[in-house]
Amino acid sequence: MLKRDEWLDLARKLDWDYSYVDEKEIFPEVPSGRPWLPQAVWRDWDEPYRTSYTEYVTNQHAKDASVYAVRDAVGRVEDAQKLDPSWLNALKLHAATLPLAEFAAVVGNLRAARFGRDSAWRTTAAFGALDEFRHTQIPLLLMHELVRWDAQFDWTHRFFHTNNWVAIAGRHLIDELLLAANPIEFAIGTNIVFETGFTNLQFVGLSSMAHAAGDKMFEKMVSSIQTDEARHAQIGPPVLKVVIEHDPAVAQYLVDKWFWRSWLFFAVVTGFAMDYLTPLAHRTQSFREFMEEWILDQFQRTLDEFGLRKPWYWPQFLSALEIYHHMVYASAYTYRATVWFNFALPGPDERAWLRAKYPRTWDLMDPIWERVTERWRQSGPGVEWYSHGATPVTFCDLCQLVLCGGTPLYNTAQTLAYEGRPYIFCSEPCRWIFQREPERYAGHKDVVKRILAGEAPANLLELVRHYFGLTPGTWGRDVVSGAYPWLAG
């Protein structure tokens, strides 16, 4: 029998010359991506894992077996009921926004498995597609168990099928990044920016908090998923290297665009979870500290390694890192009935911690919480609507998230008229991305435009019930409905 090293490259690297069709007919530019280059240019494409199908199946089977062993031990409703109620909402936020996004990543990987320009790239992408299918199935299975106890967990599957405002923002990002991207944009946006960097926040950083919070199931699930991400993310570097050699401007643009878009997504998903929904005693670091350690250092190294520049918006990004997720959380807390999970009101201890972690900006945020707290004091516990907004808010025409860039003193909103239609953006980078590819984005209607067009109700309760798909049993509340010990008296 041949040894592994004797046959592996023959199986992975199986490109050949075409005799009766042109290369461009087999790999047209639209599905294959730009810059379009002849296969000879991609010939040295390689990645370090060099997995064979047999090895893949054996390893994945072992990983699944160990996830299911943990599930059998600690994955029952009774186990979830022992967890902190605030933490459970970090879980609901994760469960709704990520598993079905991973399903979209199956499609992105399959496109690369067909239109990637080197056979080893296509092989690795085929494994990537199988990975992402696993990343969809595992959380769907684990969360399904919890639906009969808490109907908000039903949003694990339901979320991306609704017109909830967070789902609209999520789809706007995920559809472009994972469903619609060609393999080159997918390799740079997903494999390099999203998977090499940002998934670490959720799958490594938040996993360490899950450990502290005693959520062994979450910890096991995401750390198992991350081992797959680390492997298929290796598709990115060899693609980026070739694109930089032949069209550095495209490479820089794709990195800049996807860093900004990924940042906004994780500022909400991981930012909320780390700085607000994880109980204070279990927080290991602040969201900003995790970003600095896990994203900025790594991103800087990637840029240096490939000779790319920092994105032009770096000063704006560093300012946003100090405050953006705090602004969105405050907005979302005061509109909590518009989402499918519950919110914790930061009390005196949490606010002191946030002040210590965000010394440059917390003075701007604290009065907001003082005001919300005062409203709770006046209403007493159980009266959700007294500390809740009453009219629909506005959204960014690029990221589709709430228009709350900047600080309470200075908002960073930007406007633009394009083909006679007015647009508004949360930030300069969002407007810049729109202007680079207006044909991609101009047709999309945010929630407010849907309301103005008569497609969605303007009354907030009607909007929540009939457009966002929520019911009094599933819409978000304060985790203890204002009954905080520190608030009484």
Residues interacting with Fe ion, by CB under 5 A?
102, 132, 135, 195, 229
Nearest alpha-carbon partner for 131 in 49, 225, 195, 54: 225
50 by DSSP, 3-state: which? coil
CB of 425 to Zn ion, least distance (A): 5
Check whether the bond before 248 is cis (ω within 30° of 0): no
Of residues 102 and 215, the one with the C-beta less far from Fe ion: 102
Of residues 165 and 299, the one with the C-beta less far from Fe ion: 299
Interface pick for Zn ion out of 146, 235, 402, 426 (rule CB under 5 A)? 426
Interface pick for Zn ion out of 344, 365, 396, 402 (rule CB under 5 A)? 396
Of residues 237 and 346, the one with the C-beta less far from Fe ion: 237
CB of 431 to Zn ion, least distance (A): 8
Report whether 287 contacts 274 (CB < 8 A).
Answer: yes
Decide if residue 399 touches Zn ion (CB under 5 A): yes
- Alpha carbon distance 2, 340 (integer Å): 55
Work out what residue 456 binds among Fe ion, Zn ion, none; the CB cut-off runs from 5 to 8 Å by kind: none
Report whether 264 contacts 321 (CB < 8 A).
Answer: no
Buried b (16+ CB within 10 A) or exposed e, 314-324: eebbebbbbbb
Work out what residue 118 binds among Fe ion, Zn ion, none; the CB cut-off runs from 5 to 8 Å by kind: none
Structure tokens at 89: 């909402």
Work out what residue 399 binds among Fe ion, Zn ion, none; the CB cut-off runs from 5 to 8 Å by kind: Zn ion
Where helices occur in 148-232 by DSSP H, the ranges are 155-158, 165-174, 183-186, 199-200, 206-212, 216-232
Report whether 87 contacts 215 (CB < 8 A).
Answer: yes
Decide if residue 398 touches Zn ion (CB under 5 A): yes
The single-letter DSSP state of residue 310 is: P
3-state SS, 330-364, equals HHHHCCHHHCCCCECCCCHHHHHHHHHHCCCCHHH
Work out what residue 219 binds among Fe ion, Zn ion, none; the CB cut-off runs from 5 to 8 Å by kind: none
Work out what residue 430 binds among Zn ion, Fe ion, none; the CB cut-off runs from 5 to 8 Å by kind: Zn ion
CB of 102 to Fe ion, least distance (A): 4
List the interface residues with Zn ion, window 218-277 (CB under 5 A).
Answer: none
Decide if residue 430 touches Zn ion (CB under 5 A): yes
CB-closest chain residue to Fe ion? 135
Work out what residue 135 binds among Fe ion, Zn ion, none; the CB cut-off runs from 5 to 8 Å by kind: Fe ion
| Total number of residues that touch Zn ion (CB under 5 A) | 5
Binding residues for Zn ion, per CB under 5 A? 396, 398-399, 426, 430
